[in-house]
Amino acid sequence: MRRFLAIMIVLIIFANLVFLQMKMDSSRNYFSQQKKPLLIFPKPSIVRALSLGHINIIADYYWLKTIQYLGGKIQEHEKPNHIWDYANFVTNLSPRFFEAYYYPSVIMIVFQLYPEKNIALLQKGIQNLPTNKDLFFLAGFVSYFFLDNHQQAADYFFKAAQYSGYYGYAILASRILAEKGNIDLSESLLKELAKGSENQRWSKQIQNMQKGLEQRKGLDFLDKKIELYYQEYGKYPEEIQDIVKSGLIAPNELPEDPFGGQYYIDRNTHKAKSTKEYYLGVFKPKEFQE
């Protein structure tokens, strides 16, 4: 009997909330017809009070409304501009609702909507689900491709690697740091990875990245000497040996290419290059290239 009464109470609460939402939806439709779009949600505190401890059922209801909204927008060939509002409301009701963080974030990425709001949603998810690798990965993706925040992106990808055991995320973090010029930090991260990597595939990638960083240091060293040569002689050197002959580099200071290539000076850019130059940056799809 008690179980029956509990079920009836839940059904009554649910029916009341559905009725309340229908009333608000009708108001929203009225304003929409008046060319004044309006999105209305009840206050989460009110919903929690009415749910009598069954908030997850109510969160599921609003999650279904989120899916319904998204489907409608896709069918109408319109951007789901309110997807964040739905996701934020659902996660306010149920802070540990993983799907309500993950899928709206992916939708915002696909439609390139609100990167600041997207990262805020993911940060809320990480706060409530602190060991979820997928949320860390998405936060890293948004930070790098949409917010151009290399350090934050690297931190998120490294966390994703820690909680997933997937070394590829950590190597991606090191590439992001190297791309921004944080060579030493990238190098220290790879050293930590090398200690725990027993997989031959990852070990080889880590070693190649370490060689790539060493090569980058050699190129940076030569670039500085090229600029010193220009300051002293008023022209750029044509060959590396010109710098050696000038005394700006001692013969035993010449860096060696870890990949077995030869360093040379590009005549167009006046920058040091290698015949076997290793790409340290992130491989970007065309959609994300400037």
pLDDT in tens, 62-107: 899 899 899 889 888 999 999 999 999 999 999 999 999 999 999 9
Over residues 225-238, mean pLDDT: 94
**Choice between 285 and 40, residue whose per-residue pLDDT is larger:** 40
**Residue 38 clears pLDDT 50, i.e. is over it:** no
pLDDT-based confidence at residue 287 (cuts at 50, 70, 90): low
**Residue 32 clears pLDDT 80, i.e. is over it:** no
Over residues 121-131, mean pLDDT: 97
**Residue 47 clears pLDDT 70, i.e. is over it:** yes
The pLDDT tens digits of the residues spanning 188-228 come to 888 887 776 566 678 888 889 999 999 999 999 999 999 99
pLDDT at 45: 75
- Cα-based angle 273, 265, 251 (whole degrees, multiple of 5): 95
Structure tokens belonging to residue 283: 């491989």
**Choice between 4 and 131, residue whose per-residue pLDDT is larger:** 131
Q: At what angle do helices 55-75 and 83-93 cross, to 10 degrees?
A: 170
pLDDT at 5: 46
Q: Name the superfamily (CATH) of residues 2-225.
A: Tetratricopeptide repeat domain (1.25.40.10)
Q: Is 102 helix (H, G, I), strand (E, B) or coil?
A: helix
Residue 183 contacts by C-beta under 8 Å, 6 or more apart in sequence? Answer: 177, 213, 216, 217, 220
Determine how many CB atoms are found less than 10 A away from the CB of residue 9. 12
**Residue 20 clears pLDDT 80, i.e. is over it:** no
The pLDDT tens digits of the residues spanning 255-278 come to 999 999 999 999 999 999 999 999
pTM: 0.78
pLDDT at 60: 87
Given the structure tokens 């949603």, which residue do they identify?
Answer: 121
CA separation (Å) from 80 to 59, 84, 113, 181?
20, 9, 9, 37
For the four alpha carbons of 19, 23, 24 and 28, in that order, the dihedral sign comes to positive
pLDDT at 43: 79
pLDDT at 39: 63
Q: Is 116 helix (H, G, I), strand (E, B) or coil?
A: helix
The pLDDT tens digits of the residues spanning 133-189 come to 999 999 999 999 999 999 999 999 999 998 998 888 999 999 999 988 889 889 888
pLDDT at 53: 65
**Residue 30 clears pLDDT 60, i.e. is over it:** no
Helix (H) or strand (E) holding 246: helix 240-246
Percent of the chain with pLDDT over 90: 57
Residue 198 contacts by C-beta under 8 Å, 6 or more apart in sequence? Answer: none
